[in-house]
Amino acid sequence: MNTNIKQAQELDQQDTLHHFRSEFYIPEKSIYLDGNSLGLLSKRAEKAIDAAVQSWKDYAIDGWTEGENPWYYLSENLGVMSAPLIGAEPDEIVVTGSTTTNLHQLTATFYKPEGKKTKILADELNFPSDIYALKSQLKLKGYNPDEHLIQVQSSDGHTLRTEDIVAKMSDEIALIVLPGVLYRSGQVLDMKTLTKEAHQRGILIGFDLCHSIGSIPHSLSEWDVDFAFWCTYKHLNAGPGSVAGLYVNRKHFGTEPGLAGWFSSAKEKQFDMDHTLTPAENAGAYQIGTPHLLSLAPLLGSLEMFEEAGMEEIRRKSLRLTGYLMELIENELGGYEFKIANPKDETTRGGHVLLEHKEAARICRALKADGVVPDFRKPDGIRLAPVALYNSFEDVWKSVQILKRIMDEEKFKKYENKRGVIA
């Protein structure tokens, strides 16, 4: 393989998405490969925030119904804009809450233990927050999580086999919650097959899309997925703590929200102030509280770019970036005991590469000191996420050269092999 920088530059010249890079604020003298933890600020998102503040200034309370983007309908309107990213009908999505709040809502709504069907199926590789929420919901229903939360085991510590998940779909399972993409290894689960298998056994199934939305295409409605939830600050670039989203398959419309609140109401009934809730007849029923307007606003700008770029093109470039990164690692870093721990197959590889090394924490510190922003995952993982909208092939090439120099010169030994407070 030709590892000359000219090859990377040629790939950038051929890239149909390359112009989006200029839309983002790229940290000065830095190569940012941590977009699967926090996406970069775009100029359009910044403009949308400014417009939201101006609307507050100009309209005061009338901003709820006046202006270019009336606040009262913004969560639903952003759901319409999000629909192409997950392959859903516009009224099946609402942008609301946080990831874990939405999981609590959806579990409270769809976990209905009855008879011997009392258990929830998850996995041992899921992000801790999801497991915390599921255990909490089991306790609220009077069940012992040690007995009623079943977690599929990984055969290799990195990935999950579809057949292993299906084997755990017993007649005791009432609900399944799984990630669309595993946060550590970046494995894409076969959501279509898993949904089909769950439904054949009379089990509802939902997915955490935090690492898949904006990274890979989905067809949730076509696959008949029951529900899903996600954050918007990773691949969707909506900013730290930005408002999350949820999806509910329209076949479940009319199911009473498990955690009802002010914004669960039908819009036309909300200000009747009745003490009997009339839920919205769409995904809006699963909102709880008043939308966080200034944290919703960045999505207006960000989702515009996704509409223009298209998820298929984003996915195509993402696979080329991660494929190029893996080729360079294998060619340039073969003698340094790195292990590529993410799936190499394009059908099961998400938007980042996972490198394992016994000195991972200190290597991450050295990379950051030399201008490459990675992500450390305990105990020995280095996640590198070249994001299609703002990373270039030259970014990837330079990052590998910097990593090679760090290993050649043993620069990582200046640092303690221990994570920081935030990793």
Q: Retrieve residue 359's tokens.
A: 């000195």
Q: Give the position of tokens 């011997």.
A: 116
Check the CA dihedral 99-104-109-112 and report its sign: positive
Does the annotation list 129 as a binding residue?
A: yes
Does the annotation list 130 as a binding residue?
A: yes
Q: Write the CB contacts of 279 (distance below 8 Å, at least 6 apart in sequence).
A: 254, 256, 257, 260, 264, 265, 266, 285
Distance of alpha carbon 304 from alpha carbon 358, whole angstroms: 41
- Is the distance from CB of 269 to CB of 72 less than 8 angstroms? no
Does the annotation list 127 as a binding residue?
A: yes
The SS3 assignment for 358 reads coil
- Is the distance from CB of 103 to CB of 97 less than 8 angstroms? no
Q: Retrieve residue 396's tokens.
A: 């990837």
Nearest alpha-carbon partner for 291 in 36, 52, 30, 47? 52
The SS3 assignment for 310 reads coil
The SS3 assignment for 380 reads coil
Does the annotation list 109 as a binding residue?
A: no
Does the annotation list 290 as a binding residue?
A: yes
Does the annotation list 128 as a binding residue?
A: yes
Give the helix ranges, DSSP H, for 123-240.
Answer: 128-140, 145-148, 162-167, 191-200, 220-223
User: Binding site for pyridoxal 5'-phosphate: what residues are annotated?
Assistant: 99-100, 127-130, 208, 211, 233, 262, 290
User: Binding site: what residues are annotated?
Assistant: 99-100, 127-130, 208, 211, 233, 262, 290
